[in-house]
Amino acid sequence: MKRCEVDRSKISPMMKQYMDIKDKYDDSILFFRLGDFYEMFFEDAMICTKELELALTGKQAGLDERIPMCGIPYHAYQGYLEKLIDKGYKVAICEQMSDPKLTKGMVDREVTQVITKGTILDNTLDSKNSNYIGNIYDFEYCYGISYTDISTGYFYCFILEHQKDQLIKEVVNRGLCEIIVNFNIDREIVNVLRESYHLPVTISDDIYQDENYEYLYQNISDIRLVTTIKHLLAYLIETKKGNLQHLQPVEIIDIHQYLLFDIHTKRNLELVETLRLKERTYSLLWLLDKNKTAMGSRLLRYNIENPLTKKEDLERRYNFIEVLRTEFILKEELKQALDAIYDLERIIARVSYGNVNARDLLQLKNSLSILPEIKRILTELHFDREIDPLDELYDLLNRSINEDAPIGLKDGGLIKPLYNEELDELKKLSKGSKNFIVELEQQEKERTGIKNLKVGFNKVFGYYIEVSKASIPLVKEEFGYERKQTLANCERFITPLLKEKEDIILGAEEKMINLEYQLFMNIREVVKRYIGKIQLNSKVIAEIDMLQSFATVAEENNYVRPKLTKDSSVRIIESRHPVVEKVLKKDYVPNDIIMGKDTDILLITGPNMAGKSTYMRQFAIIVIMAQIGCFVPCKSCTMPIFDQIFTRIGASDDLVSGESTFMVEMKEANTAIAHATKNSLILFDELGRGTATYDGMSLAQAILEYIHDKISAKTLFSTHYHELTTLAADLPRLRNVHVSAVEEDGMITFLHKVKSGAVDKSYGIHVASLANLPDSLIQRAEEILNIYENQGESKQTFTQTSLFLGLDEKKDEKNVVLEKLKEVNPLEITPIEALNFLYQLKKMMDDK
């Protein structure tokens, strides 16, 4: 049965309440609180049954037919919730707003929050990654884009030209996990985001109208940006239904302040995850992340994805790395101090929103206790940003929050003794009454003579006296026992005195729990006043943590400080690929990257597997490392500041859009040609190989000439079209280099060394032989190669009969003889048997 098929005039009052609430959250799965369970009905139940592997049951609800239903325990809902969110569903949490014990009639219920992929605020988030939710506001002539991580409060916004392809690239490149768009947007964009990139997209025109969050955009004069921000705010406020005052003033992104590259470049260079396994390990982020705090790790990732272009900012970072490398004792003290700092940004977000628990505040307190030590170290290092120790807040938390406090806020045990007099009195009363219960058990044993008598407690019946079945005959009327419960092996009784004490104990405990909860809420409100200061501290801690990570990596791997120049010359001596060097078991072969003012293009030739792609990648990675303020892997480095990086490395089809390898190549080449400037870096690896030889060669040459004559960007262009090497004679700013290899006795040895000049041989067949292709196939390839080389460029037609015959035979001559030899052990046969065996082999060869 579906919800739309229900006759609402016949349903029960509870189900009517459910239907009314569900109508408002039609795009979400509704977790409807009924006692100790969250229940799901109709289509929601069908989805949850499948996705969460729950048993599907039914409920009468006043109808003739039972409606579909499933449920989960409310205290264990988190794991189920995570699964649904991870699969892209929205979940609306509907809570009981009144106490069922004190409510006559229907319990009030309402949705307290809607949880989506971009609005998670609990501890399930990956601490080292940001969790961005963003929006696109289509103004018909441009796009407004804003995005925020509500778990940390960072908020960004910018305007983009009205180009669909560029818009999609920006959204994907910034790692947004959920998108809100207005109704004006082209539905093709929505479909691409949903189907190609599996992003949840919500369409809404709502604009936030109140002034509660005016501080976010009060310094922004562009009304388009303000509208974009309010559009995202409307969704966040409606979804979270809580206080989001931890959101920080919006930062307007100026793309000219960052080194730009697209998602393909980020993947090709394996900046934050590997290309094949999509894992963090063996990426540049993995190598550089020696941070001690989650905040430092997130800042590092942000910087790798958004390198800087302002020389002053980079030089400042280089200076502090040098200070940290010199002051190694202070650096070690700093690392130890940072190691004790918890994730302040996300703790503060939970404080603001209201779902913070006592353990969060204990983590905050323990982090605050380290701030004076960090302040001292930064002062001695002459760091240009300060830490506020927040002594008053630390003192409050130290006096108030119990070190052994539970996670739940209604379980008691939150507040330390001596913090509140009334609470201390209630604790004394409760403790004294509980001691009386212990004494009462001993007294009853002596009074009745029942040695196995026990005084127990449960939430249903309260305190009781338990007597085993065997001792029931010993219970006399004068004891004043009143039978309360009969079990299989015992009877439970109460007495007037026990009931009186129970009322005192339970009354005191309820008062204690309520008072502790109220005291905790008061403490939380005090902590809220410090949100801004804690966020400022967090930024300083994140940056100094990232810088100590850079210093540690530089020291461990012998990196050097880059020298940034204003001219276009590049001189990187003995450069290394930092990740390959780290994981390579044998010695890494360094290479120079030298491109003077008179060189814009390096045309790289050489065999496959010789290291051309690695050489190109390490140049780009060194540029990125230098422009995040990190030292770089080489002997010395002089380079300009680049504005953009464009790459085409590796061959792949775009299966989603149905585009071939060649079409993808041409699109990425066009992106570079259309947007590159003389300050850009272009890396093209074997461009043109996706089509016919002469077409590919012609396009490659035309692209090289265009870059040389029209753009003058620094370009590394690898190719197997050796004919292109002659371009050096006509293009003065193009220089030939090659990755060397040595051929000896038909075997090839890769030297991985880049040398000047062009290579005159591909060695492709040698590489194929290393892959253990059949000997007959290799021989046939050599025959065809000889014909090509002898005939020049005249086209020939070749039959491949012999090739396929060789492959169809079960074994060629050589293999048959080898198999026979493997069957014989020379130590186990006589000389005459050996001669006979040799004769058989000779006869086999002759027969063939």
- Give 51-65 pLDDT, tens digit per residue: 999 999 999 888 888
pLDDT over 70 (residue 381): yes
Count Cβ neighbours within 10 Å for each residue of 123-133 and write b for 16 or more, e otherwise.
Answer: eebeebbbbbb
State the pairing for strand pair 67-73/37-41: antiparallel
Region 666-692: what's the mean pLDDT? Answer: 86
Tell me how far apart the alpha carbons of residues 532 and 190 are, in angstroms, rounded to a whole number.
36
Count Cβ neighbours within 10 Å for each residue of 447-469 and write b for 16 or more, e otherwise.
Answer: ebebeebebeeeeeebbbbbbee
Tell me how far apart the alpha carbons of residues 441 and 420 are, in angstroms, rounded to a whole number.
32
| Alpha-carbon distances, residue 705 vs 258, 460, 725 (angstroms) | 28, 86, 12
Tell me how far apart the alpha carbons of residues 214 and 603 are, in angstroms, rounded to a whole number.
55
- What region, left, alpha or beta, does residue 317 occupy, with left being phi > 0 and alpha being psi -120 to 50 degrees? alpha
pLDDT over 50 (residue 794): no
- What kind and span of H or E run contains 749? strand 747-756
Tell me the β-bridge partners of 458.
Answer: 462
Predicted local distance difference test score (pLDDT) of residue 791: 59
- Cβ pair 830, 824 in contact under 8 A: no
Question: Which of 329-343, 725-739, 769-783 is predicted with the least confidence, judged by mean pLDDT?
Answer: 769-783
Give pLDDT tens digits for 457-489.
887 778 899 999 989 999 898 888 999 888 988
Predicted local distance difference test score (pLDDT) of residue 660: 65
pLDDT band for 778, please (50, 70, 90 cuts): low
Predicted local distance difference test score (pLDDT) of residue 804: 39
Predicted local distance difference test score (pLDDT) of residue 795: 41
Tell me how far apart the alpha carbons of residues 658 and 675 are, in angstroms, rounded to a whole number.
25
Predicted local distance difference test score (pLDDT) of residue 801: 36
Predicted local distance difference test score (pLDDT) of residue 659: 59
| Per-residue three-class SS string for 182-216 | CCCCCHHHHHHHHHHCCCCEEECCCCCCCCCCHHH
Output 99 or 715, whichever has higher pLDDT.
715
- What kind and span of H or E run contains 181? strand 176-181
Tell me the β-bridge partners of 401.
Answer: 415
Predicted local distance difference test score (pLDDT) of residue 812: 54
Predicted local distance difference test score (pLDDT) of residue 16: 94
Question: Which of 287-296, 371-380, 426-435 is predicted with the least confidence, judged by mean pLDDT?
Answer: 426-435
Region 270-296: what's the mean pLDDT? Answer: 95
pLDDT band for 711, please (50, 70, 90 cuts): very high
Contacts of 179 by beta carbon, 8 Å cutoff, 6+ apart = 133, 134, 135, 136, 171, 193, 199, 200, 201, 202
pLDDT over 50 (residue 805): no
Region 200-215: what's the mean pLDDT? Answer: 95
| Alpha-carbon distances, residue 680 vs 599, 603, 713, 727 (angstroms) | 14, 17, 5, 22
Give pLDDT tens digits for 211-259.
999 999 999 999 999 999 999 999 999 999 999 999 999 999 998 899 9
pLDDT over 70 (residue 96): yes
**Percent of all residues in the chain with a pLDDT value above 70, rounded to a whole number:** 91
Of the candidates 26, 63, 24, 22, the one whose C-alpha atom is nearest the C-alpha of residue 39 is 22
pLDDT over 60 (residue 427): yes
Tell me how far apart the alpha carbons of residues 520 and 106 are, in angstroms, rounded to a whole number.
30
Tell me the β-bridge partners of 490.
Answer: 468
DSSP-derived letter for residue 463 is: E
Contacts of 733 by beta carbon, 8 Å cutoff, 6+ apart = 598, 599, 600, 601, 708, 712
Predicted local distance difference test score (pLDDT) of residue 800: 36
pLDDT over 70 (residue 765): no
Tokens of residue 359, six digits: 């353990």
- Cβ pair 32, 38 in contact under 8 A: yes
- Cβ pair 423, 415 in contact under 8 A: yes
Give pLDDT tens digits for 810-839.
445 556 777 777 777 776 777 777 777 777
pLDDT band for 780, please (50, 70, 90 cuts): confident
Give pLDDT tens digits for 36-54.
999 999 999 999 999 999 9
Give pLDDT tens digits for 143-174.
999 999 999 999 999 999 999 989 999 999 99
Give pLDDT tens digits for 563-598.
999 999 999 999 999 999 999 867 889 999 999 999
Predicted local distance difference test score (pLDDT) of residue 752: 80
Phi and psi, residue 426, nearest 5°: -65, -40
Tally the residues of the chain: 848
- Cβ pair 368, 389 in contact under 8 A: yes
pLDDT over 50 (residue 788): yes
Tell me how far apart the alpha carbons of residues 149 and 130 are, in angstroms, rounded to a whole number.
6
- Cβ pair 80, 72 in contact under 8 A: yes
What does the radius of gyration of the chain's CA atoms come to, in whole angstroms?
37
Region 504-512: what's the mean pLDDT? Answer: 83
Give pLDDT tens digits for 286-332.
999 999 999 999 999 999 999 999 999 999 999 999 999 999 999 99
Give pLDDT tens digits for 625-657.
999 999 999 999 999 999 999 998 865 544 344
pLDDT band for 762, please (50, 70, 90 cuts): low
Of the candidates 93, 113, 82, the one whose C-alpha atom is nearest the C-alpha of residue 235 is 113
Tell me how far apart the alpha carbons of residues 86 and 190 are, in angstroms, rounded to a whole number.
20
Tell me how far apart the alpha carbons of residues 241 and 111 are, in angstroms, rounded to a whole number.
9
What is the pTM for the complete model shown?
Answer: 0.84
Predicted local distance difference test score (pLDDT) of residue 499: 86
Predicted local distance difference test score (pLDDT) of residue 789: 61
